[in-house]
Each structure stands twice: as C-alpha cells, then as structure tokens.
Amino acid sequence: MRIAFVKREKAGFRRMIAVRTTAMLLALASVGMIFWFYGADPVEVYREIFLGAFGTKTGVSEVIVKLIPLLLCGVGLSLVFKGQIWNIGAEGQLILGAIAATGVGLWVPLPSYLVIPAMFLSGFLAGALWALIPAVLRAKMNVNEVITTLLMNYVAIRLLYYLVYGPWRAKEQWGNMTWSGFAQTAILPDHATLQTIPGTRIHYITLIIALTSLIFVYLLMNRTSFGYELKVVGDNLMAARFAGINISRVILISMIISGGLAGIAGVGEIAGIQHRLRPGFSVGYGYTAIIIAWLGGLNPLAVLVSTVFFSGILVGGSYIQISFGMPVGVINMFNGIILLFLLASEVFLNYSIKLRR
C-alpha cells in the first residue's frame, strides 16, 4: 500500500480555512514543545502572549501600533509575491525610508505644513529606490532577487549604524560644553512628528495610509490589467513571455510599490514612534511581513487578518521576553515554524491524498 497525491480542483474557501487553521495549531503545539524544553509551561506562555496582546486596552492599542508597519510591508509583499518576485528586502527598504524621513525632517528647510508630506514622499522614494536596484538586476540580467534583496538588508543596517554612530550622531550640550551623545540623531522638531490618538501611540495618519494602500493593492491586483499580467508572470513565466507581457515592467512596478510601502512603514516608525533615528528601531517587521503575506494567501484582505495575528504575537511576545527571560529571537523561531507548517499544509489544498494498494 502506498500514499498517492492526486491533483484536485482548487480548494474552496472552507477547506482553505480548515487546512490553514490546522497547520497553525500544529505549529503552535510545536513551538509549545520548545517552550517546554526551555523550562516554561507552554500553556502559561501562550496565555501570557494572548492576554498581553488582547487582554488590556494598552495591549490592543499596541497591537494596532505594530499593525501599521506590518500591514504596509505585508500588503506590498503580497503584491510582489503574487508575481513570484521574491522581495525579501522589506526590512532594508523600511530602514531606508526611515533614514530618508529623518534627513528630511531634521534638515530640509520647508514650510512646516509641508514637512510631513515631504517625509512620507522621501520615505516612499528611498524604499522604492532600494528595491529598484535588485529589481533592475533581476529584470535585466536575471540576477536572483532573493539573495540581492536580502544582502541589501545587511547593507541598509550598516548604513543606519554608520549614520547614527557617525555624521548624524547628535551632540549633547550643557552650557558651552558639547560631546557626542548616544548613537542616535537629534530629536525631530514637533512639526516633523505625527499626532497620535490621545492616550495611545497610534499614529493614525500612517494607519490610514496603510489601510488605503491595502485597498489600492487589492484593486490593482484584481481589477486592472497590470494585476492580471502580474498573476500570469507568477503562474507561468513562459506563458507570460509568449503572451507578450512586458515582464521587466511588471517586475519593476511591483517592486517599486512594495519597496515604497516598506519605506512608508519606516517613515511612520520614525515620525510616529521614535521621533529620532536610532539603531534597532525595527524589530524585523520586514521579515515578519513575509509570513504575513504568505499566511494571508497573498490576498490583501486576508493579509489584514494575518497582520492582526502577528501584531498580537509581537506585542504578547514582548511580554514573554520579559517574564520568561527569552531573547528577541524567539519571535523569529515562532515565525519560521509557523511558515514551515503552512507550506507543508499547502499540499492538502492542491492535492487529494489517496491510499492505494
């Protein structure tokens, strides 16, 4: 007797939910086992994560705060991934957006009402440009974009470090004496920071931009000829070529949008939360967004749901880091396992499993 996979019709919505939920539960159980080896009661850990994220008003508002960058990155990634264009560089594009916004906010002389729009614009452009380099290499020379986008994350982090430890480092001043302070820039002037909903850290302007971009990308994917071309490129590159689709154009445009949205996420973090550039301001939003896009089945509306879930893990995860003494990396572990289970479960969507004699 052997197990055979038989190709089946595309799975319906209910089957998809059932398969994905099962995969998630199995993933959570596996992570639980690691917690158990670590000497922590898994039930207790999960309870803490859930209550930390959704149990209090502060928790919920923090979930929304984390949702903003994750949604921006996740929506952009679901667009490029649809075309099987592997932008793994959202983290670096986010950092570039943050750098550009800080530069504009601190030093570009503009009427104060123009500063915020200029920061968002420059952040979008910086993220888009950072994504454009690997996009051009892929489109024109077929250089593997997984590796280039990823390597550019390392370059972006080094650039950030260079700036905050070097030329952009703020001077501390006391009387006539000045000296180099912490590795961070000076604080942004008030007109370069975003307002928040009172009593929370929710910078609602970026949230609105994120939700708008979600609708924009949804329409782009489902209601335009570009969206159709993107899907053909993703499903079958050969067919796309024969159909006369301009593949380079599809790659470049989708990468510009995805990089730009990640850049905007960086602007939001700086103008809305940090109010200055400093190392470690992003806790790997760009990487988490990869799983968010995948879990959402590359559908922007479903991506919203998966974003809420992962913002919850980020917020709740910060509680367990404190109370169980776990490193920041625990989030990465979580993400990796969930993604592996989701991938392995995909087969149940596209194939029926039959036992044969």
Partner 1 sequence: MNMTFYESIISTILVSGTPLLYSTLGEIYAERSGVMNLGVEGMMIMGAVTAFIVGKITGNLLLAVLTAILVGIALSLIHAFVSITMRGNQTVSGLALTMFGLGLSSVIGIKYVGSPGISFNPIRIPFLSQIPLLGPLFRMDALFYLSIILAVVMWYILFRTKIGIRIRACGENPAVADALGVNVSLIRYACTAIGGGLAGLGGAYLTTVSAPFWGDVMTTAGRGWIAIALVIFSFWSPLRAIVGAYLFGGIEAIQFNLQAYGIPTDILGMMPYIATIVVMIFSMSGMKRRFGAPAALGVPFVREER
Q: Are 79 and 275 in contact, with CB atoms under 8 Å apart? A: no
Residue the block writes with tokens 């199995």: 26
**Candidate residues 161, 182, 228, 242; the one interacting with partner 1 per rule CB under 8 A:** 161
353 lines the binding site for partner 1 (CB under 8 A): no
Residue the block writes with tokens 């896009």: 293
146 lines the binding site for partner 1 (CB under 8 A): yes
336 lines the binding site for partner 1 (CB under 8 A): yes
343 lines the binding site for partner 1 (CB under 8 A): yes
Q: How far apart are CA 31 and CA 37, in angstroms?
A: 10
The DSSP string of 320-350 is HHHHS---TTHHHHHHHHHHHHHHHHTHHHH
**CA distances (Å), 184 to each of 162, 187, 192, in order?**
11, 9, 17
Least CB distance from residue 158 to partner 1, whole Å?
5
* Torsion angles phi and psi, residue 344, rounded to 5: -65, -30
Give the binding-site size for partner 1 (rule: CB under 8 A): 53
Q: Are 168 and 104 in contact, with CB atoms under 8 Å apart? A: no
Stretch that binds partner 1, among 51-59, 113-121, 157-165, 239-247 (CB under 8 A): 157-165
Stretch that binds partner 1, among 101-109, 121-129, 240-248, 321-329 (CB under 8 A): 321-329
Q: How far apart are CA 256 and CA 250, in angstroms?
A: 10
147 lines the binding site for partner 1 (CB under 8 A): yes
Least CB distance from residue 28 to partner 1, whole Å?
14
Subset of 84-123 contacting partner 1 (CB under 8 A): 86, 88
Subset of 4-23 contacting partner 1 (CB under 8 A): 4-7
Q: Are 179 and 172 in contact, with CB atoms under 8 Å apart? A: yes
Q: How far apart are CA 323 and CA 317, in angstroms?
A: 10
Subset of 165-184 contacting partner 1 (CB under 8 A): 165-166
68 lines the binding site for partner 1 (CB under 8 A): no
42 lines the binding site for partner 1 (CB under 8 A): no
If phi > 0 it is left, if psi is from -120 to 50 it is alpha, else beta; for residue 354 that is beta
Q: Are 122 and 266 in contact, with CB atoms under 8 Å apart? A: no
Binding mask 213-252 for partner 1 (x = CB under 8 A): ----------------------------------------
346 lines the binding site for partner 1 (CB under 8 A): yes
Q: How far apart are CA 241 and CA 238, in angstroms?
A: 5
Q: Can you give the binding site for partner 1, defined by CB under 8 A?
A: 4-7, 34, 38, 86, 88, 137, 141-144, 146-148, 150-152, 154-155, 158-159, 161-162, 165-166, 287, 290-291, 294, 325-337, 339-340, 343-347, 350-351
